[in-house]
Amino acid sequence: MADEELHETDSNDQKDWQNEVKAEETSAEDAKDVAESVESGKSDASEDEDETYGVDMEQVQAVLNATADKATLTPQMQRMMNRQAENTKRVEETIKGTKSNPRWFVPVFCAFMIVGLIWCVVYYLSPTGSWPIPNIGAWNLAIGFALIMVGFLMTMGWR
């Protein structure tokens, strides 16, 4: 152990600081070039994207909004427009077919649960358990819990 050097280093393990500094300078220059190209014209980038996909994005928006003229569209765009129309029709039919509860339904089940809770609280706070109905004792709790359960069961039918 005394024969080994404590701070032995290998030249391959050391960082090459000159190459690292050069790489940072080139990445900073690349970032400046990208920023300048973005500032010079954002429309060039969107035109490049349109050329990449071969489809004008304004035309796609017109198809999705159903404002495009079908005669001027490619067959693929016509199929896409037809699919969009079918999906819209299906959603509208689904919305028409949904059932909903009458307006009084939610207030009634909320009222049942609140009245049941108040019934139980009044029983617990009354002296000798004589309220809300005297002479039935702990059955007041059963009535309160029954009211709460009726309200809870009504929530299961809520749409």
What is the Cα–Cα distance from 73 to 61, expressed in whole angstroms?
13
Evaluate whether residue 80 is within a structural domain. no
12 occurs within a structural domain: no
Q: Report yes or no on 144 lying in a domain.
A: yes
Is residue 22, in this structure, part of any structural domain at all? no
- Say what the pLDDT of residue 114 is: 98
- What is the residue-level pLDDT of the chain in tens, covering all 159 positions? 455 555 555 555 555 556 665 555 555 555 555 455 545 554 555 556 556 667 777 877 777 777 777 777 788 888 888 898 899 899 988 888 788 889 999 999 999 999 999 999 999 999 888 889 988 988 999 999 999 999 999 999 998
Q: What is the pLDDT of residue 38?
A: 45
What is the count of structural domains for the chain?
A: 1
Range of the domain at 136: 104-156
Domain for residue 128, yes or no? yes
Q: Tell me, what's the pLDDT at 147?
A: 98
Is there a domain that residue 134 lies in?
A: yes
